[in-house]
């Protein structure tokens, strides 16, 4: 019986010590008459200003840039005992006379911050002032303007940010190229020199001649199917007229597709998602290896490559030149500055030559031969 009593006393003392460790900074709100709870100090401070407390709180700088609770590593609701324990633990580690880390200079810098935080939180009046500053930041703009620190938010992974940025840039690049391509095609169709509508009519006439004259007659739909929607079936003359219009519309679409194919050939391949930045970055190692192998094997010293670089021509434009024309250009040895100057002078004086001074003029002249009213999209 005595042992049971002693055990009960020990258990009660342990529970009391734990409750003291978790002692809140202020007492629990007591119930008022009528069963309503009294508002907490925080709620009351947020709703009602206290001019006297504000005047008393704005005189101090407290922990300046740091949060006093975070310095000691305690919660804002911690009682005096946890705050004292936290301070003693930090003092044993960072006091200049003890300094367990061995860096006395560092301990002399940080220990005053811990001592100042403990001095503020251990004083009932100073802690009330400090809590009022934390709970009512809009009443102390000068304090927060002076001692606030900018923080990067939100804390995102840089790799994720880079990936999203590249994907967004690739999508914008593709949409911009596609829009430019469609605008160039529309401009070609509207330009009088392309004779788009006339070429469509000519293509329709050719398709009309090549289309077989005898076409299988379609069997009329049953009466039940014709009146399925509750509408009377169309008259034979009206159905024949609609059928003829459908044939003309189909013929026009085929002719437009044929003429558009010719315009696509002049414009070049339409942009695709594979021409975007993200695909180029993905292929960068392969591209770098190919370029390194090209220079390592002496590809940049080939006459064709040096001639193309001297004229500012792309690989596609160089491939469009006839083999005899390529050999003739190689013979000029245009990678030498004097030869290139002489060649440009000759081109300027002889405007009837099939070669152009610049790659763009050369391309436009070649396309003009294919189509007298040739319209090309500017690079």
Q: Please give the C-alpha separations between residue 58 and each of 100, 132, 246, 345, in angstroms, as whole numbers.
A: 37, 10, 85, 82
Q: What is the pLDDT of residue 367?
A: 47
What pLDDT shows up at residue 370?
Answer: 44
30-66 pLDDT tens trace: 444 344 444 554 454 444 578 888 888 888 888 888 8
Taking only the tens place, the pLDDT of each residue in 253-288 is: 888 888 888 888 777 778 888 888 888 888 888 889
Q: Could you read off the pLDDT of 7-32 as tens digits, one per residue?
A: 544 555 555 544 444 444 444 444 44
How far lies 346's CA from each of 306, 310, 322, 362, in Å? 20, 16, 20, 15
337 pLDDT higher than 80: yes
Taking only the tens place, the pLDDT of each residue in 158-208 is: 888 888 998 999 999 999 999 998 898 888 888 888 888 888 888 888 888
Q: Is the pLDDT of residue 356 over 80?
A: no
Query: Could you tell me the pLDDT band of residue 74, with boundaries at 50, 70 and 90?
Result: very high
Reported pTM = 0.41
User: Would you call 37 helix, strand, or coil by DSSP?
Assistant: strand
| Domains of the chain (ranges, CATH numbers) | 20-30+37-147 (1.10.287.110), 151-209+246-282 (no CATH), 294-370 (no CATH)
Please return the burial class of 37, using the count of CB atoms within 10 Å of its CB with bins 0-12, 13-18 and 19+: exposed
Cβ 353 vs Cβ 328: under 8 Å: no
Please say whether the beta carbons of 109 and 96 come within 8 A: no
Q: Is the Cβ–Cβ distance between 70 and 108 less than 8 Å?
A: no
Instruction: Specify burial of residue 232 (Cβ count, 10 A radius: 0-12, 13-18, 19+).
Output: exposed
Q: What is the pLDDT of residues 123-142, one digit of tens each?
A: 999 998 889 888 888 888 87
C-alpha–C-alpha distance, residues 152 and 145, integer Å: 17
Close Cβ partners of 24 (under 8 Å, ≥ 6 residues apart): 77, 79
Three-state secondary-structure class, residue 80: helix
State the chain's mean pLDDT as an integer.
75
Q: Which H or E element spans position 131?
A: helix 124-135
R_g over Cα of the chain: 43
Say yes or no to pLDDT of 245 above 50. yes
**In a 3-state reduction of DSSP, which class is residue 357?**
coil
């Amino acid at each position: 019986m005595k042992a049971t009593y002693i055990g009960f006393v020990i258990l009660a003392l342990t529970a009391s010590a734990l409750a003291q460790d978790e002692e809140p900074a202020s007492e629990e709100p007591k119930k008022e008459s009528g069963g309503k709870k009294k508002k907490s100090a925080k709620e009351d401070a947020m709703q009602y200003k206290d001019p006297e407390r504000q005047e008393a709180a704005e005189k101090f700088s407290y922990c300046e840039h740091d949060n006093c609770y975070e310095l000691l590593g305690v919660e804002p609701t911690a009682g005096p005992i946890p705050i004292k324990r936290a301070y003693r633990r930090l003092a044993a580690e960072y006091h200049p006379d003890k300094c367990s880390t061995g860096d006395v200079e560092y301990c002399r810098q940080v220990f005053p911050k811990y001592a100042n935080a403990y001095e503020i939180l251990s004083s009932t009046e100073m802690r009330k002032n400090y809590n009022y500053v934390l709970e009512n930041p809009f009443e102390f703009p000068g304090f927060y303007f002076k001692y606030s620190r900018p923080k990067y938010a939100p804390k995102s992974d840089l790799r994720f940010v880079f990936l999203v940025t590249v994907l967004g840039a690739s999508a914008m690049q593709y949409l911009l190229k596609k829009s430019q391509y469609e605008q160039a095609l529309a401009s070609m169709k509207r330009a009088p020199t392309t004779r788009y509508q006339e070429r469509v009519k000519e293509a329709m006439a050719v398709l009309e001649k090549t289309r077989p004259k005898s076409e299988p007659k379609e069997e009329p739909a049953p009466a039940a199917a014709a009146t399925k929607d509750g509408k009377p079936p169309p008259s034979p003359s009206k159905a024949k007229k609609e059928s003829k219009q459908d044939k003309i519309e189909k013929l026009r679409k085929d002719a437009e597709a044929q003429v558009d194919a010719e315009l696509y050939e002049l414009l070049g391949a339409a942009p695709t998602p594979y021409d975007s930045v993200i695909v180029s970055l993905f292929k960068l190692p392969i591209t770098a290896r190919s370029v390194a192998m090209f220079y390592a094997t002496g590809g940049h010293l080939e006459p064709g490559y040096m001639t193309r670089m001297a004229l500012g021509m792309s690989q596609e434009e160089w491939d469009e030149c006839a083999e005899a024309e390529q050999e003739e250009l190689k013979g000029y040895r245009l990678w030498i500055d004097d030869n290139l100057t002489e060649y440009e002078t000759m081109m300027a004086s002889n405007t009837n030559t099939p070669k152009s001074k610049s790659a763009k003029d050369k391309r436009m002249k070649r396309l003009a031969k294919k189509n007298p009213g040739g319209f090309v999209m500017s690079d």
